[in-house]
């Protein structure tokens, strides 16, 4: 096999065009076989095989910087840079599903959020200029979907301002991000895809006019002088050229020779150049091409021949939300949905099918989505903006200053909250309950099971004068966790024996960690430690009934699937201080560090967020209180 002989990019230089095409076929076969065993981003990588080969033939990585926006499509790049052991892809100690600096000098950007690559490229090109590195080049690959993000256009505005600073921007145009790309930019690129182009038109015109006596040549020169206007009419790439960017394309993204020619011309140019490549997401794999939703953007473990899942998926948090949204849509005509280019991943596809006139896909533009939601709410409807928890970080200012400041009734539904695992540091939803704590008036719900998700979503959309947030985990929804009582707005999940007058521990359980918290209580009970377990349901604001309840216990413990700094534990601690309740508190959550990719359960064990780990520490805390504070008030434990 040719692929096994590729240890680095320069091994590509000695291959003929025929061998390069053979290599492309081998890579596609390898990807289908490998990713079907582990799961991962299959469709995007099948679409960029020839493009990645051409990039590494033309540019000299790692001296030249080859950058990939988001990194969904970096598997081929990994294969060509000496990383061909995909057996542990996206698992602990295996290859990351994104570019990773720890893996290779060829990787520049760690796994990241979309639409950022042009900002990186602008900075790297400026660094080359400042340091006089004229033989260094920067090539940034960005999808047409990522170009719907505002950050991309902010970067383009800066890039275009330096007309003599070399930088190659490769637009990987497959008409899709997760699903089909929509919006004005998508329409513009579609026009470019389907137009024969100015150069072909002009060549044919020249041939005809030069055969025309007397007026032919002068007319051709006039026509050529009107190049800009005619070019916009025939092939309207003027949007890029108006910014001051040289445009090459569209290029067949599966023709290695054509790609190399275009990239070589772009590399030689002394300023910024757009190379517009047309690719096909899922190319070469029939099940992916026939999957209209997202062309196998990301798959679990599948049968390689059929593309069907090996295991039948159980009900997920996302599917519970999806079904409840449809019910709400039937009940209330003012409910609308918003997604940032992720209609299917966040579960709004069912709502879109039922109410096509009440769904808005803003593209990869979470900031715009939040402010647009504020406008919708001001206009008299109630928007539900469903987004991955990690992506709401990008719209914090808009949540704060547009939605909350204006007291807009907008509901944000945060999917993939907490530790998500195999997608790595940038995709763990571990920041939301911390950053949202500072937003005045915002109310935040963390449902523990499917029933509570349905109930709290309904409670959220009833709020008309403030933003509401409902956040839940990735994957399968667990079994129902019934309440045995209610105190204030909090559900009581477990109470001590009736004869216990002052229980040892008040355990505050946040969201989907309720089953684990009940397990902690069982373990404590075996040590003779009495425990009350409560689920606040709404973790912001802190329920007024929590402080007096805490005062009737010896110690308070909070457990959350969120960063410890500024999270629910910190909010509870502040609420107790404000109420004058002097009870020791111990908060358990995610440490504030970037977590390597691994299975969720492996990460939870690594950071000590398991029932045995927490029970052991709480047992030690209670024992310490027994030894030191039997006859005096307990001091706070941080």
Which residues are identified as catalytic? 281, 366, 394
CA dihedral over 518, 523, 525, 529, signed as positive or negative: negative
Angle at 30 between CA 25 and CA 34, to 5 degrees: 155
d(CA 340, CA 357): 16
Write the burial class of residue 613 (CB in 10 Å: 0-12 exposed, 13-18 middle, 19+ buried). middle
Using CA atoms, how far residue 75 sits from 47, 71, 81, 254, 423, in Å, is: 11, 8, 10, 17, 14
- What stretches of 306-350 adopt beta strand conformation (E)? 335-339
Please report how many Cα atoms fall inside a 13 Å half-sphere around the Cα of residue 368, on the Cβ side.
13
Q: Are strands 411-415 and 468-471 parallel, antiparallel or unpaired?
A: parallel
Using CA atoms, how far residue 227 sits from 178, 224, 285, 354, 469, in Å, is: 37, 5, 41, 47, 53
DSSP 81-138: TT----TTTTSTTS--SS--TTT-TT--S-S--TT-HHHHHHHHHHHHHHTT-TT--E
Write the burial class of residue 484 (CB in 10 Å: 0-12 exposed, 13-18 middle, 19+ buried). exposed
Q: Are 524 and 611 in contact (CB under 8 A)?
A: no
| Pairs from 124-130 (Cβ < 8 Å, separation ≥ 24) | 124/65, 124/67, 125/159, 125/162, 125/165, 125/166, 125/167, 126/162, 126/165, 128/166, 129/162, 129/165
Please, what's the b/e burial string for 109-129 (b: 16 or more CB within 10 A of its CB; e: otherwise)?
Answer: bbbbbbbbbbbbbbebbbebb
d(CA 268, CA 277): 18
Q: What is the 3-state secondary structure (H, E, C) of 2-41?
A: CHHHCCCHHHHCCCCHHHHHHHHHHHHHHHHHHHHHHCEC
DSSP structure class, residue 328:
H
Pick from 106, 105, 86: which is nearest to 96 by CA? 86
Q: Are 493 and 518 in contact (CB under 8 A)?
A: yes
d(CA 124, CA 119): 9
Angle, to 10 degrees, between the axis of helix 49-58 and the axis of helix 17-38?
130
CA dihedral over 489, 493, 497, 503, signed as positive or negative: negative
Write the burial class of residue 478 (CB in 10 Å: 0-12 exposed, 13-18 middle, 19+ buried). middle
d(CA 203, CA 220): 10
Q: Are 348 and 322 in contact (CB under 8 A)?
A: yes
Enumerate the H helices of 39-84 as residue ranges: 43-46, 49-58, 75-80
CA dihedral over 53, 58, 62, 64, signed as positive or negative: negative
């Amino acid at each position: 096999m040719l692929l096994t002989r590729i240890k680095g990019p320069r091994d590509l230089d000695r291959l003929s065009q025929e061998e390069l095409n053979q290599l492309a076929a081998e890579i596609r076969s390898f990807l289908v076989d490998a990713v079907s065993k582990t799961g991962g981003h299959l469709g995007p990588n099948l679409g960029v095989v020839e493009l990645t080969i051409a990039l590494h033939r033309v540019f000299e990585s790692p001296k030249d910087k080859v950058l990939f926006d988001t990194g969904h499509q970096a598997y081929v790049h990994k294969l060509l840079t000496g990383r061909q052991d995909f057996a542990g892809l996206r698992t602990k100690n295996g290859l990351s599903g994104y570019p990773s600096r720890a893996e290779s000098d060829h990787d520049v950007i760690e796994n990241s959020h979309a639409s950022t690559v042009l900002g990186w490229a602008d900075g790297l090109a400026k660094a080359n200029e400042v340091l006089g590195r004229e033989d260094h080049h920067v090539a940034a690959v960005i999808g047409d979907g990522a170009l719907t993000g505002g950050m991309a256009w902010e970067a383009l505005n800066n890039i275009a301002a330096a007309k003599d600073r070399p930088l190659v921007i490769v637009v990987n145009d497959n008409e899709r991000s997760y699903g089909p790309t929509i919006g004005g930019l998508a329409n513009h690129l579609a026009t470019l895809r389907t137009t024969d182009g100015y150069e072909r038109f002009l060549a044919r015109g020249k041939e005809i006019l030069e055969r025309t006596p007397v007026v032919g040549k002068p007319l051709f020169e006039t026509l050529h002088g009107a190049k800009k206007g005619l070019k916009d009419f025939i092939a309207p790439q003027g949007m890029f050229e108006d910014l001051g960017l040289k445009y090459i394309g569209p290029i067949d993204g599966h023709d290695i020779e054509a790609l190399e020619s275009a990239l070589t011309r772009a590399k030689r140019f002394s300023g910024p150049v757009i190379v517009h490549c047309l690719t096909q997401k899922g190319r070469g794999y029939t099940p992916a091409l026939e999957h209209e939703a997202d062309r196998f953007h990301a798959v679990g473990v599948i049968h390689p021949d059929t593309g069907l899942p090996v295991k039948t998926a159980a009900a997920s948090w996302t599917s519970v939300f999806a079904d409840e949204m449809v019910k709400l849509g039937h009940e209330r005509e003012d409910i609308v949905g918003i997604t940032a280019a992720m209609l299917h991943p966040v579960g709004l596809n069912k709502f879109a099918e039922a109410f096509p006139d009440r769904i808005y896909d803003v593209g990869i533009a979470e900031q715009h989505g939040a402010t647009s939601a504020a406008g919708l709410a001001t206009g008299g409807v109630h928007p539900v903006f469903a987004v991955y928890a990690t992506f709401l970080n990008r719209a914090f200012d808009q949540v704060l200053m547009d939605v909350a400041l204006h007291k807009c009734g907008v509901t944000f539904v945060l999917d993939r909250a907490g530790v998500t695992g195999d997608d790595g540091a940038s995709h763990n939803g571990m920041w939301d309950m911390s950053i949202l704590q500072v937003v005045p008036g915002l109310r935040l719900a963390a449902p523990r099971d499917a029933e509570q998700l349905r109930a709290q979503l309904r409670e959220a959309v009833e709020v008309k004068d403030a933003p509401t947030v409902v956040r839940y985990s990735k994957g399968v929804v667990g079994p129902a966790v019934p309440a045995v009582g209610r105190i204030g707005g909090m559900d009581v999940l477990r109470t001590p024996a009736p004869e216990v007058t002052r229980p040892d521990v008040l355990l505050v359980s946040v969201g989907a960690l309720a089953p684990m918290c009940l397990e902690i209580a069982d373990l404590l009970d075996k040590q003779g430690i009495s425990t009350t377990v409560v689920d606040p349901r709404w973790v912001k604001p802190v329920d007024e009934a929590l402080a007096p309840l805490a005062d009737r216990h010896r110690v308070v413990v909070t457990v959350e699937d969120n960063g410890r700094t500024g999270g629910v534990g910190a909010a509870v601690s502040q609420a107790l201080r404000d109420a004058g309740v002097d009870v020791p508190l111990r908060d358990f959550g995610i440490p504030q560090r970037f977590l390597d990719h691994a299975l969720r359960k492996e990460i939870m064990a690594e950071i000590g967020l398991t029932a045995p780990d927490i029970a052991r520490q709480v047992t030690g805390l209670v024992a310490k209180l027994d030894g030191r504070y039997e006859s005096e008030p307990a001091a706070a434990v941080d």
